[in-house]
Amino acid sequence: MKRTATVVTCVAAFLFTTALTGCSSGSGDASGEGEGHGPVSSSASPSKPATVDTKSAGKLGTILVDDKGRTLYLFLADKKNKSNCSGACAKAWPPLLTKGDAKPGKGVEKKLLDTTKRSGGGTQVTYNGHPLYYYVGDSKPGQTNGQDLDQFGAEWYVLNAKGKQVGS
């Protein structure tokens, strides 16, 4: 079952709060190109290569995370190595950006790890051809609140170490 209504409410609350406070989860522009390494510690641009790791996530199994244990997602509207998430989408789903080549962590297949250029010039990490994203509804490492959501025209899923979407 999709959790669209609940998540839309959460995202709306996040965007409303952002508008009231004049700040956001990152210092990027409206395209989401300036998002750093995710919602917890973002910056105008990444200062080092991103690392993709794996972590056990209960019933979801072993999934992809960043070096701080924050969950990474794929967007079904994306094409192979091409993001279709910008503007408001990239605010709710910040891309995993990197400086240089991404580094594989424990359990990650190096041959599946790559990068792609975003329309605004940033370098986004991909895995098995899927551009990788965070979700603003995950406030701490290990959360998977973005799993199986239908937002911005398609569904979002965590990925396993083989680079395949994980069903609920």
DSSP-derived secondary structure letter, 151: E
- The more confidently predicted of residues 106 and 16 is 106
Token duo for residue 93:
């789903």
Check if the beta carbon of residue 121 is closer than 8 Å to that of residue 97: no
Q: Judge contact between 8 and 150, C-beta under 8 A.
A: no
pLDDT of residue 168: 65
pLDDT surpassing 80 at residue 8 = no
Q: Is 40 left (phi over 0), alpha (psi -120 to 50) or beta?
A: alpha
pLDDT recorded at residue 48:
92
Whether residue 141 has pLDDT greater than 90: yes
pLDDT reading at 18 higher than 90: no
